[in-house]
Structure 1
Amino acid sequence: MEQLGIGALLRSQREDAGRSQASLAAVLSELSGRAVTRNEVSRWESERRLPTPFWQKHIAAGFGADVQEIRRAVAVTRAKRRKAKTGEVVQRREFIGAMAALAIPLARTDQLSARQIGQSDVDQLRRRTARLRRLDNIVGGAETFPVYSAEVDFTQQLLRKSNYSIDIGHQLQALLAEQQQQAGWAAFDHGQNALAQRFYTDSRIAAEEAGALDLAGNALAYAAYQQTTTAQSGTALATDSCEVARPMATPKVSALLLERKAWAHATAREPQEADRALNMAREALQVRDDRPDPDWVFWVNEVEIDIMAGRCWTELRRPLRAVPVLERVLSGFDETHARDKALYLTWLATSYLHAHEVEQAAATLTRAHELAAGVSSVRPAVRIQAVARQLTRYRSTPAVGELLTKLGS
């Protein structure tokens, strides 16, 4: 028999007892010592609101029912809401991704021949690269990698077959470095780490040839970040990335490289160095600078630094510092950015587990699993399974057992 949600259960019990919504409100007010109105009972029955744990126990007492039955009904309603919301988010994410792809001609139809490349050509290529970069917010590396690698091939052919001035050549080399970083990131997101590393190495070389030291530093930062997912420490490369980029880095570029340095220190279990880098990243964002930021840091802001801080403190097993910041930031995080939100929720789940909040960890990981459905990235699944393994010792807890069954763990 299907478990009723709280609205149907409450209505059924009230009608079986021969009570109106007003009379039930009066009973609950008497039992609890707090005033509750007929309108609130109506909201519970329509499931526009859910009774809090305080009211759940008094509802159970009012009907002589087991409070666990009331709690299960509330949990059923929450699960239905999540399922409906997840479906809406997935549909919205797929729609946005499709529209974004349609807005940008993904297949290269340009017929390359020896011709003169000028500033207007480079500007057009930059705009296209910027638009394509934003696809990464919505779809994963399995879908973006073929697009990004095609852009790399096209720009490499331009450099080989076209005519241009020295300045235009440097700009094309810098653009190539950007595109190689995009392709490397997509390969990493798709689980092709060796291919990603080759792109990062090629990007650093192209950036150095173009004199784009900020991009060269970013290539090192990407490589350092990838090292942190293995047994290797990324601290040396992350430190080098900041030093290499320093002469050209705008405040946002500095903030990005510093937060990645913080992550490298956190994964190396170096809390003081991680905290110092995070503080420096926040300070960098406050610096006034008239230079325009490169488009490849368009997403760097205070929220990004806060998320990284929460992740760092999770890695360092400091749940009292990690949980508040991750809860605050993720409560307003756009769910069409499903891959990123699913990943960040896994760190929140881990911090809940560090704080011995097992049921909350399971609920959060369940939400991450739901959001990651259909995302063309290997990273959320890897993280979800890693946290699930830590939860296996609590399999007897109903929320954990249900989650592990869903995951096949």
Structure 2
Amino acid sequence: MLCPDGIGQLLRAIRETTGRTREQQAEFLSNLGAPYVDPENIKRWETEKRLPVPYWHPALSKGYAIPEEEIRRAITASRQYRRAAGAAAILLDQEEDDDMHRRTAVFGTAAIAAGMATDPWGRLAAAVSRPKVDGETAAALVKKTAGFFTTEEHLPARLLTRRLACHLETLTALIPGAGRHEKALMVAAAETAALAGWAAFDEGEHDNALSYYKTAALAGKEAGHPPAVALAMGYASYAAAPGKAREMLKTAQGHVKGRGYASARSWLAAREAEEAAGIRDPDGAVRALDRAVTAFDYAEPGELPWMSFYRQARVDSFALSTYAKIRHADLTSAADAALEHLGDDDSKIRIAVLHDVANGYMAAGEIEPGVEIGRRFVEAATTTPTTMGRQRMRDFASVLPADTAAARSLAEDIRAALVA
């Protein structure tokens, strides 16, 4: 059995998302300038018969569009899983009266509750044993929660969903025995549930997403941590009607007042600006955007783990989205600034920024740069498929003018990508 968050599952999920066979993936890597890659290499890596050595990490990073840090993390997880499985195999060969005893001897009571809580007996063991949580364990779980928000920028939602569900089970099992660490784990659980909702939304499972958001808000409230409630509301706003979404975002901003939450206030205000522009309230949109820019100027690095995605290029992207809807005079200059700030970012954020830049140019009547950036947007959206990426492709295709050959060609390419 493969490690659920190891390198094999990661590489296979990304390859299958692109629709490539192992042979095609090997050829794709080779064509990127990497040394020749045999399809058997792909098979061995995906089945974890062999783990990629550092020599291959740059090629894998480029060919799978994920950071080398994520590759190393997944390989480490696979190694740890192998060691645990090996220890279990040795002990399971011994004669023991009770399967639970054997597992406890290998992993410890806390590990049963934490690492195996996805099984029914694991949840029961957690409830009965009520494992105690020390400071080191709590810190590790909080750190792992934060890491998911960075991972989300690169990982397909389908693979991320499994990891989040397992992590949420772990937190759920440990909270009853967390003692003075209960609030920290409750906050981590709220943030994990919110991100799980976002991943479910990305997969088109809107009912599941809403359930996750409600649970996240409840956990944040019970933990006395309003920012977690704001996070859930911010994510949920994407699935709400414009008017309701705007009210949700206004309320959410009230949950992130004070020092340390400036980046979150900026994000929520920028989202409010988008929604206000969508219901044709240009004055309200500009006011909200001004608040977003001002708050971002006061933001400090590392304020909240779930704001890791929110960089200058994303602020520019929200401004573009807002300006395009209200045909603002600064539309073109905002598009130029967004491109400058984007740099070589290869995350999902790139999809949003490139779309908003291309759409902004089109709205300003700058057809040639709009088509040029539009092609870069479509390439990014097809390399890292997401529900929002597909929706943005549909939206962008609808604004491409039919009287321009380059625009017609791009529209055809988008339609082909959407049915692939």
Q: Structure 2 length as normaliser, TM-score?
A: 0.67
Q: Which residue of 2 aligns with 1:48?
A: none
Question: By how many angstroms is 1:375 displaced?
Answer: 1.1
1:352 aligned to 361, 364, 368, which one? Answer: 361
1:91 aligned to 52, 63, 66, which one? Answer: 63
Structure 1 residues 375 and 287, CA gap change in structure 2 (3 angstroms)? closer
Report if aligned partners of 2:32, 2:63 keep a CA contact under 8 Å in 1: no
Cα RMSD for the two superposed structures: 3.1
Q: Note the alpha carbon deviations across 1:89-124, whole angstroms, 9 max, x for none.
A: 851614635444334569898421422112221111
Aligned counterparts of 2:242 and 2:315: Cα–Cα separation in 1: 24
Q: Which residue of 2 aligns with 1:316?
A: 326
Report if aligned partners of 2:324, 2:331 keep a CA contact under 8 Å in 1: yes
Question: By how many angstroms is 1:202 displaced?
Answer: 0.6
Question: By how many angstroms is 1:216 displaced?
Answer: 1.3
Report if aligned partners of 1:89, 1:335 keep a CA contact under 8 Å in 2: no
Residues 170-319 of structure 1 mapped to structure 2, 5 A cutoff: 170-227=183-240, 230=241, 233-246=244-257, 250-287=261-298, 293-318=303-328
Unaligned runs of 5+ in 2: 1-30, 34-58, 85-106, 114-125
Aligned counterparts of 1:95 and 1:171: Cα–Cα separation in 2: 28
Residues 10-409 of structure 1 mapped to structure 2, 5 A cutoff: 91=63, 93-94=65-66, 96=68, 97-104=70-77, 110-112=111-113, 113=126, 114=129, 115-159=131-175, 162-165=176-179, 167-227=180-240, 230=241, 233-246=244-257, 250-287=261-298, 293-318=303-328, 320-335=329-344, 337-391=346-400, 394-408=401-415
Structure 1 residues 405 and 139, CA gap change in structure 2 (3 angstroms)? same
Report if aligned partners of 1:214, 1:248 keep a CA contact under 8 Å in 2: no
Aligned counterparts of 2:210 and 2:299: Cα–Cα separation in 1: 34
The SS at the match of 1:372 is helix
Report if aligned partners of 2:378, 2:393 keep a CA contact under 8 Å in 1: yes
Question: By how many angstroms is 1:237 displaced?
Answer: 0.6
Unaligned runs of 5+ in 1: 1-82
Aligned counterparts of 1:88 and 1:363: Cα–Cα separation in 2: 27
Whichever of the two has the greater Rg, that structure is 1
Q: Which residue of 1 aligns with 2:18?
A: none
Aligned counterparts of 1:145 and 1:259: Cα–Cα separation in 2: 27
Report if aligned partners of 1:148, 1:183 keep a CA contact under 8 Å in 2: yes
The SS at the match of 1:191 is coil
Structure 1 residues 311 and 245, CA gap change in structure 2 (3 angstroms)? same
Question: By how many angstroms is 1:284 displaced?
Answer: 2.4
The SS at the match of 1:244 is coil
Q: Structure 1 length as normaliser, TM-score?
A: 0.69
Report if aligned partners of 1:216, 1:244 keep a CA contact under 8 Å in 2: yes
Structure 1 residues 88 and 119, CA gap change in structure 2 (3 angstroms)? closer
Question: By how many angstroms is 1:324 displaced?
Answer: 1.9
Question: By how many angstroms is 1:212 displaced?
Answer: 0.2
| Residue-pair matches, total | 317
**More displaced 10-residue stretch of structure 1: 247-256 or 396-405:** 247-256
Question: By how many angstroms is 1:328 displaced?
Answer: 2.3
Report if aligned partners of 2:276, 2:284 keep a CA contact under 8 Å in 1: yes
Aligned counterparts of 1:399 and 1:190: Cα–Cα separation in 2: 32
Q: Note the alpha carbon deviations across 1:28-52, whole angstroms, 9 max, x for none.
A: xxxxxxxxxxxxxxxxxxxxxxxxx
Question: By how many angstroms is 1:299 displaced?
Answer: 3.8
Structure 1 residues 93 and 100, CA gap change in structure 2 (3 angstroms)? farther
Report if aligned partners of 2:277, 2:326 keep a CA contact under 8 Å in 1: yes
Q: Note the alpha carbon deviations across 1:363-405, whole angstroms, 9 max, x for none.
A: 22222111222313122122112211222xx334221232233
Q: Percent identity?
A: 18
Report if aligned partners of 2:160, 2:199 keep a CA contact under 8 Å in 1: yes
Question: By how many angstroms is 1:304 displaced?
Answer: 3.1
